[in-house]
Structure 1
């Protein structure tokens, strides 16, 4: 995977993290930097997984999976932090 593809996925992850933060607003127990960091990790991780499985030439699929994984990670961690906070 090229450097620019990783940079593209990281930028998408930042966007997904920011969107997740905007949607949840005040009720989010996750810090802003953590939301964007999880978005970047999810996007780059998802894109890398697809690249490892399918190889070069599947940038669109890698982007879609990266965005989906980033959004799912942000939602899962936010949900987990909320339920953990309610139990305490």
Structure 2
């Protein structure tokens, strides 16, 4: 299954960004994770069909209302398998 890693920069920690990402991912049928990084970014690993990954990327550029997204970096990964969507 197609997979991508997104690094989201801006005011994305402490604003329910990971929880919102999980909600969007599950609605799109995407599995993976959203994790706060020590440098203030959020890493999102997303596994799902290409259209769903594109839709998630569009959402990541907005995030929840309290977020301010400055950049989203997408890296295409080799196909992967996962189970569910976790936040950490």
Q: Please indicate the TM-score interval, normalised by the length of the shorter structure.
A: 0.3 to 0.5
| More RCO (CA 8 Å, sep 6+) | 2
Give the structure with the larger helix fraction: 1
Rg bigger for which structure? 1
